[in-house]
Structure 1
Amino acid sequence: MPTDEHSLMDHAFEENIAQLLHRQLTGEVLSAAEQQELEAWKNKSVHNAALLQKINDEASIHQLLQTWHNIDRNRAQNKVRFLAMLQPPVVRQPRLRLLRSKIFRYAAAATLLIGIATFYWQQQHPNKPAVAFRETAPIAPGKEGAILTLADGSQMVLDSAGNGLVANQNGTRIMLQNGQLAYNAGGGTSGTIAFNTVSTPKGRQFKLILPDGTSVWLNAASAITYPTAFNGHERTITLQGEAYFEVATNDKAPFKVTAGEATTIEVLGTSFNVNAYTNENNIRTTLLSGAVRIKAYQQTVTLKPAQQAAVKPSTAQLVVHNAVNTDQVLAWKNGLFNFENASLDEVMRQLERWYDIEVVYEKGIPPTRFGGEINKQNTLQDVLQILEGSNVHFQLQGRKLIVMP
């Protein structure tokens, strides 16, 4: 254990490094002595070296800032579209613009220095256990990608496939363009129905357009099964995991989602989110626009925008929640973790799916609740550093994350 004197010296050293990193990121030229001090700090640990590399990589900073801008733009557009359904005469489209470069650079500085801020917190709480994940190789966030399973059982990894024709199923051409799967209907074989499945492993998410024009965003560790052509009087698909739907309108063929053993969601044309992971307590359907009808365990409800139906298989109950925070529900789609009022186990399940890790609890699940949002493009270690501010501690062994009291 270091002495108190050494701890104070380390604290002063790290505080000075934080100032140097901030000055460098905001465009100041450092002296030779200051650059030498940064180099010595970089050589202290793998985490320090990775952080400095982020700051010095102009392309990485630009990509991070563009990601933040896209997140803000998507959230603003989703909110405008939702409010327009409620009060069409009042809502005006907001102007969306990039913040000035200087402001972006300060925001990036704040994000990249989170690790040092966490160090300050630890210095003020000397009795807490030391963090046991900073020296491990960074675990990267998830990315776009999925596996396509064709009707004959053959599989294709879509995140490694190039643009163009992927397959032909009963006359329907399956195309991949810029990471998005789409179906071009053709003359299918009469009386023959072919089903495809798109599944996302942990650490992947994906967008596809179904043969009827419905857009689907799949969250990590999810799967959707559907016919390659909708020829009947209804459009039925099966979902495991989580997905956001923007359904193509067809009054003659209702769109139906089967989730779990007893839940069916029926719509005509609308946008909604379904969370049906098997390790969650409820199957949650959240409506953004239009109307959906939920059927489960001999119960039926019709949702209005901003309502959520929660089906609990363990008790065969169906409950409706009003005035749901749709920003929180759609955070995953818009590049964010939204942990507002989330329990520790809820947070850990999201991290398991996005970073492809296993979470274990050393002594049960602490009764901790969180708040706020975190960019999903952070490494796992960056996210853990933020979460430690709520007095939870972690040990990372490979891809196993141990939660300690």
Structure 2
Amino acid sequence: MEHVPDYIAHLIWLDLQDELTSEQRQELDKWIDQSPYHSIIAERTKNQANLFKDLAIYQKFNAEIAWEKFDSHTVSAPKAAIKKLNPQLIGWVAACLLLLSTCLTIYLNNTQVTKYVENPITKITPATKGALLTLSDGKKILLDTVKDGLIKLENGTVAEVANGQLFYRQSDNLNVTNTITTNSGRHYQMTLADGTKVWLNANSSISFPSAFQGNTRNVMIQGEVYFEVMKNKNKPFIVAAPNGLKIEVTGTKFNLNTYANENTWKTTLIEGHVNVHLDGRSLALIPGAQARVDRTKRNVTIIRNIDPEQAIAWKNGLFNFEGATLPEIMRQIERWYAIKVDYKGPVQKIDFFGEISRNESLDDIIRALQESGVKLKLNRERRLITVEQ
């Protein structure tokens, strides 16, 4: 049957109550599979925290009126299903589902979405594993082409490639500095000689010693890197970022975003303890906190009780668009798909939410953004996305 917005909202409502028939389940699943955007909406309604957040944004809705309007425009939900809800939650669920129904009406009745695509979008694949290893003597090794097994680098340094990852082995040989770099459309994972695990996002790099000697473990990064630092209280792990920013730890899990085209650099602590150093100041982070550095003003702000999963979504194979602006999203897409984004006219101001797999092709990402109201077109060279007001 033809899915009108109210009916889809009703199916989602029944799904929340575990009251879907097998036929209704097939109908809802078919609708969800039609678009990544549909999947985002369906997943969001299953999360009470997200629904509370939506209701806070759209609190202009009167819950009782919303409930009456929603109830009058949908197939009557079974009374038993309604009783399963906490009475205090009925109002905000109704308001959110009314909002959902309204959004779906706009979407499903919008026949002009595809006009913004100049040509059929050819598949542009997401980033793949790959990086360039530069040795201290200038020799370069394209890690994409190295087969699994041991490799000899320089001065007796030995590393191992396994399953697309590079593992350094601690040794007493002469210490030298190596650098791993990922370009746009590439990401990589490696393990340092002390056992510290490192994930590099696209357009990122890390310089590190082939073997850690002395009283500290020093590395230098650019771009975005996630660390799981091997604990060693007697040998602090120090990360040097651009513009004098330093992060000091003894053993912890944290994410550091220092892209040159981002106005705010973010250090997000997942586990353990971190000290953030900048211009003679030192600030301590606790798990679930984020240090934000304004690159222009060079001040540091601590934000507590953030969602750490959002900061490391990239490492877990996801785009997390929760609360992101359009330029922030586009910068992520540029790096991940190795494309260029240009803007024509004022940048659209749209509230984004939800997550999308980073394994999706570019056309799927573009389609999801179009369906959320963004006007896009991809040129014939597949290298340029134009965003228009």
TM-score, normalised via structure 2 length? 0.72
Deviations 1:238-286 (A, max 9, x none): 1101111010111221000011111100000111010010111122111
Question: Cα–Cα, structure 1 residues 269 and 276, in superposed 2: closer, same or farther, change >3 Å?
Answer: same
Q: Does 1:338 align with 2:323?
A: no
Is 1:262 the counterpart of 2:247 in the alignment? no
Contact 1:171–1:187 (8 Å) recurs in 2 = no
In 2: Cα distance, 1:133 partner to 1:378 partner? 21
Aligned-partner Cα distance in 1 for 2:28–2:153: 47
Pair 1:150–1:120, CA change in 2 (3 A): farther
Q: Which amino acid aligns with 1:223?
A: S
The residue number in structure 2 matching 1:162 is 147
Q: Distance in 1 between matches of 2:36 and 2:172?
A: 58
Identify the match of residue 271 of structure 1 among 253, 257, 260. 253
Q: Does 1:182 align with 2:103?
A: no
Do 1:133 and 1:394's aligned partners in 2 also have CA atoms closer than 8 Å? no
Using the size of structure 1 for normalisation, the TM-score is 0.70
Moved more, 155-164 or 221-230: 155-164
Which one-letter code corresponds to 2:254 in the other structure?
A: F
- After superposition, the Cα gap between the structure-2 partners of 1:389 and 1:227, relative to the gap in structure 1 and judged at 3 Å, is same
In 1, Cα distance between equivalents of 2:231 and 2:247: 15
Which amino acid in the other structure matches residue 347 of structure 1?
I
Q: Is 1:288 paired with 2:283?
A: no
Q: 1:108 and 1:253, CA in 2 relative to 1: closer, same or farther beyond 3 A?
A: farther
Q: Which residue of 1 aligns with 2:308?
A: 326
Structure 1: distance between partners of 2:365 and 2:28: 16
Deviations 1:377-397 (A, max 9, x none): 111111111112221110101
Q: CA RMSD in A?
A: 2.8
Distance 1:115 1:134, change over 3 A: farther
Q: Where does residue 289 of structure 2 map in the other structure?
A: 307
Q: 1:2-401 maps to which residues of 2 (within 5 A)? A: 112-114=33-35, 124-126=109-111, 130-132=115-117, 135-189=120-174, 193-397=175-379, 398-401=382-385
Alpha carbons 2:149, 2:160 under 8 Å: kept: yes
SS of the residue corresponding to residue 382 of structure 1 reads: helix
Question: In 1, distance between residues paired with 2:172 and 2:276?
Answer: 34
SS at match of 1:334: coil
Give secondary structure in 1 for the equivalent of 2:115.
coil
Contact 1:259 1:283 in 2 (8 A): no
What are structure 1's unaligned runs of at least 5 residues? 1-11, 16-103
Cα shift at 1:344? 0.3
Deviates more, 1:209-218 or 1:113-122: 113-122
1:228, 1:218 → 2: CA distance? Answer: 17
Q: What one-letter code is carried by the residue in structure 1 that aligns with 2:178?
A: N
What residue ranges of structure 2 are gaps of 5+ in the alignment? Answer: 5-24, 40-103
Could you tell me which residue of structure 1 aligns to residue 71 of structure 2?
none
How far did 1:152 drift?
1.2
CA offsets, 1:171-209, max 9 Å, x none? 2202111111011123413xxx31111111111111100
Summarize the Cα distance change of 1:127–1:380 in structure 2 as closer, same or farther, 3 Å threshold.
Answer: closer
The 3 A distance-change label for structure 1 pair 290 and 235 is same
Are the equivalent residues in 2 in contact too, given 1:307–1:322 (CA < 8 A)? yes
Instruction: Using the TM superposition, give the Cα deviation of residue 168 of structure 1 relative to its aligned residue in structure 2, in angstroms.
Output: 2.3
Shift of 1:312: 1.4
Deviation of 1:147 (Å):
1.1
> Which secondary structure state, in structure 2, belongs to the residue aligned with residue 385 of structure 1?
helix
- Cα deviation for residue 229 of structure 1 reads 0.8
1:404 paired to 2:388: yes
Q: Which moved more, 1:148-157 or 1:327-336?
A: 148-157
Secondary structure, aligned partner of 1:225: strand
Distance 1:172 1:115, change over 3 A: closer
Q: In structure 2, the residue corresponding to 1:212 is in which secondary structure?
A: coil
